């Protein structure tokens, strides 16, 4: 192998140990297209050994690959970057690998390109899970006996929303449901389905935030065998939900290019499978939910205005639990009855002291957070009788600040919100703030759980929460 560029050699000596600890497939080629770094994760993915790759040209390592098919070689020749690029290839063992990666050229201080770096992850397990979900949906919704999903409330605003949802249901129009995480958006979606003429047809839910953007399209529209390497014939959710209701949760997480394709479907109820050669139709009703303000999403170009206006013919804005104090004790008693048989002691009712504690909390995670807290409290109680103590995560007492303000849709995410435009530092800070807020909401403000989701230590997460002035008791709907 010819000598490396001195700057590339220095960078490898400095960072190779760190690269070894990332535990994700990572490879670097020099300006001649030869591997100068190739970790064990890359070897495991490709079915090679590290020794078989290091010092060899990419096309020698992958003899069946054409130069035009390699993103690393294309980046080396053209200087282009690939961010979140998705491809399927067969490794040396003949196994299909779903691969998502980011590729970027490396430049010396004089501006000369000295190589290319690529880091990725194996998405094959995600693909298999997606296919299993589709199969399970087919089995689940072939049974028309759907359980009821009652909405427990005494709040006048919620009761009015239930009546409105029932009126929207019988008119067979698309509906948008806006509300914070844990406020019951899917319950309202199921209510609309149950009160509609489509009640005897499938209700299928797709969480747009739970799938990588590269898989949303195939999940929604389905695929035809040969559409891409490893693709098989599969039904998409539009096809599975034909005649029924498709609930698109966290629509705000759907990439903007996918929003365009969804809009085209809404215009004439027709779509094409990936790799398909003919048009298909689906008589499906779309109910979408989002946990961010539509106005802000459109303002920041994260939501197509025309898609929102087409979907938002009917709209429901769900209030947070903090504005429904009469529901806190009602729901708490409901959860005690629901889980009574699952805990060791016979717990009935709530003590006066526990009621006072429950009513003081801000409940940033809303009903879902309340449910988890009640279940934890029941488990921790060591005797029969009414629930006496409210057990929350002792490692995170800041989870329930005593004087937290009520959550409202217009409340800013934090006292220090970074904008998504501007220089690189500002954009990275904005993106990091969004990821942290989303993880905290998904973990119901449990810092330890959010740290696990983000793959960082609790100490680091506490530092970043302080850095971005994120108030755990007042997490906004941006996640």
Q: Tell me the pairing of strands 347-350 and 385-387.
A: parallel
Question: Same domain for 65 and 200?
Answer: no
SS3 38: strand
pLDDT at position 424, please? Answer: 56
The model's pLDDT over 208-235, given as tens digits with 9 standing for 90+, comes to 887 776 678 888 888 887 655 555 677 8
Final residue in a domain of this structure, among 275, 298, 317: 317
pLDDT at position 438, please? Answer: 86
* Cα 185 → chain centroid: 16
For residue 230, what are its two tokens?
């490893």
Q: What is the CATH number of the domain that holds 55?
A: 3.30.450.20
Question: Same domain for 224 and 140?
Answer: yes
Residue 399 lies in a domain: no
Average pLDDT over residues 260-284: 89
Q: What angle do CA 163, 167, 171 make, to 5 degrees?
A: 165
Percent of the chain with pLDDT over 70: 82
How many structural domains are present in the chain? 4
Q: What is the CATH number of the domain that holds 364?
A: 1.10.8.60
Residues with Cβ within 8 Å of 112's Cβ and at least 6 positions away in sequence, in order, are none
Ranges 83-92, 266-275, 337-346: which has the least confidence: 83-92
Count of C-beta atoms within a 10 Å radius of residue 51: 10
Question: Same domain for 131 and 116?
Answer: no
405 pLDDT more than 50: no
Instruction: Give the residue among 247, 74, 59, 45 at the shortest CA–CA distance from 146.
Output: 247
pLDDT band at 428 (very low <50, low <70, confident <90, very high): low
Q: Torsion over CA of 102, 107, 112 and 115, rounded to 10 degrees?
A: -50
Residue 206 lies in a domain: yes
* Distance, CA of 30 to CA of 106 (rounded, Å): 9
* Distance, CA of 44 to CA of 39 (rounded, Å): 9
303 pLDDT more than 50: yes
SS3 234: strand
Percent of the chain with pLDDT over 90: 38
DSSP result, 138-195: HHHTTS--PPP-------HHHHHHHHHHHHHHHTT--EEEE--TTS-HHHHHHHHHHT
Question: Same domain for 274 and 343?
Answer: no
Instruction: Give the residue among 424, 422, 414, 425 at the shortest CA–CA distance from 467.
Output: 414
Residue 398 lies in a domain: no
The model's pLDDT over 117-168, given as tens digits with 9 standing for 90+, comes to 999 888 766 666 666 666 566 555 555 444 555 799 999 999 999 999 999 9
Q: What is the CATH number of the domain that holds 301?
A: 3.40.50.300
For residue 391, what are its two tokens?
């057990």
Residue 103 lies in a domain: yes
Question: Same domain for 146 and 281?
Answer: yes
479 pLDDT more than 50: no
CA atoms within 13 A on the CB side of 452: 6
pLDDT band at 177 (very low <50, low <70, confident <90, very high): very high
Average pLDDT over residues 397-413: 36
Residue 397 lies in a domain: no
Instruction: Give the residue among 415, 459, 448, 446 at the shortest CA–CA distance from 433.
Output: 415
Count of C-beta atoms within a 10 Å radius of residue 472: 19
417 pLDDT more than 60: no
- Residue that is written with structure tokens 């390592």 in the block: 61
CB 164 within 8 Å of CB 176: no
CB burial of 195-229 (b: ≥16 within 10 Å; e: otherwise) equals: bbebeebbbbbbebbebbbbbbbbbbbbbbeebee
448 lies in which domain range?
404-479
Residue 346 lies in a domain: yes
Instruction: Look at the chain and count its residues.
Output: 479
* Distance, CA of 347 to CA of 353 (rounded, Å): 15
Question: Same domain for 333 and 305?
Answer: no
pLDDT at position 289, please? Answer: 95
For residue 471, what are its two tokens?
């108030």
Instruction: Give the residue among 443, 432, 429 at the shortest CA–CA distance from 472.
Output: 443
Average pLDDT over residues 431-449: 82
CB 282 within 8 Å of CB 239: yes
Count of C-beta atoms within a 10 Å radius of residue 55: 14
For residue 192, what are its two tokens?
């609309």
The model's pLDDT over 58-116, given as tens digits with 9 standing for 90+, comes to 888 888 778 887 889 999 999 999 887 877 777 777 777 778 889 999 999 888 999 99
**pTM for the structure as a whole:** 0.59
pLDDT at position 454, please? Answer: 85
DSSP result, 341-366: GGSSS-EEEE-HHHHHHHHH---TTH
Question: Same domain for 219 and 146?
Answer: yes
Average pLDDT over residues 246-269: 91
pLDDT at position 415, please? Answer: 32
């Amino acid at each position: 192998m010819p000598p490396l560029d001195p700057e590339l050699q220095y960078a490898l000596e400095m960072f190779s140990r760190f690269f070894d600890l990332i535990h994700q497939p990572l490879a670097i080629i020099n300006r001649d297209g030869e591997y100068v770094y190739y970790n064990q994760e890359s070897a495991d993915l490709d079915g090679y050994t590290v020794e078989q790759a290091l010092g060899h040209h990419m096309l020698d390592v992958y003899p069946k690959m054409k130069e035009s098919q390699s993103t690393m070689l294309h980046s080396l020749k053209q200087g282009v970057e690939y961010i979140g690029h998705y491809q399927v290839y067969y490794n040396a063992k003949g196994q299909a690998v779903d691969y998502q990666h980011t590729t970027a050229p490396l430049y010396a201080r004089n501006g000369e390109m000295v190589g290319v770096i690529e880091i990725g992850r194996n998405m094959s397990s995600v693909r298999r899970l997606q296919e299993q979900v589709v199969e399970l949906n087919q089995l689940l919704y072939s049974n028309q006996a759907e359980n009821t999903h009652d909405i427990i409330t005494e709040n006048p605003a919620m009761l009015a929303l239930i009546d409105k949802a029932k009126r929207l249901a019988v008119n067979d129009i698309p509906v948008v449901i806006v509300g914070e995480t844990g406020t019951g958006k899917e319950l309202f979606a199921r209510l609309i389905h149950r009160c509609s003429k489509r009640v005897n047809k499938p209700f299928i839910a797709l969480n747009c935030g739970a799938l990588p953007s590269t898989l949303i399209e195939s999940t929604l529209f389905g695929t035809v065998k040969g559409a891409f390497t490893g693709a098989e014939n599969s039904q998409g959710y539009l096809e599975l939900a034909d005649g029924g209701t498709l609930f698109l949760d966290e629509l705000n997480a759907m990439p903007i290019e996918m929003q365009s394709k969804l809009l085209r479907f809404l215009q004439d109820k027709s779509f094409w499978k990936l790799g398909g050669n003919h048009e298909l139709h689906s008589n499906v009703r779309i109910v979408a939910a989002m946990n961010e303000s539509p106005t802000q999403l459109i303002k920041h170009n994260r939501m197509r205005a025309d898609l929102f206006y087409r979907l938002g013919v009917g709209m429901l804005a769900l209030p947070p639990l903090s504005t429904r104090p009469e529901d806190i004790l009602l729901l708490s008693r409901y959860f005690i009855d629901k889980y009574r048989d699952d805990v060791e002691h016979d717990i009935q009712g709530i003590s006066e002291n526990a009621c006072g504690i429950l009513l003081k909390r801000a409940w940033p995670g809303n009903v879902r957070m309340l449910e988890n807290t009640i279940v934890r409290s029941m488990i921790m109680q060591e005797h029969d009788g009414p629930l006496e103590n409210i057990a929350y995560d002792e490692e995170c007492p800041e989870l329930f600040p005593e004087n937290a303000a009520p959550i409202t849709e217009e409340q800013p995410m934090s006292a220090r919100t970074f904008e998504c435009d501007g220089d690189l530092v500002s954009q990275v800070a904005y993106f990091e703030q969004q990821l942290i807020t989303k993880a905290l909401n998904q973990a119901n403000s449990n810092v330890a759980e959010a740290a696990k989701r983000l793959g960082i230590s609790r100490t680091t997460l506490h530092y970043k929460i302080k850095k971005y002035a994120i108030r755990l008791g007042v997490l906004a709907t941006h996640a």
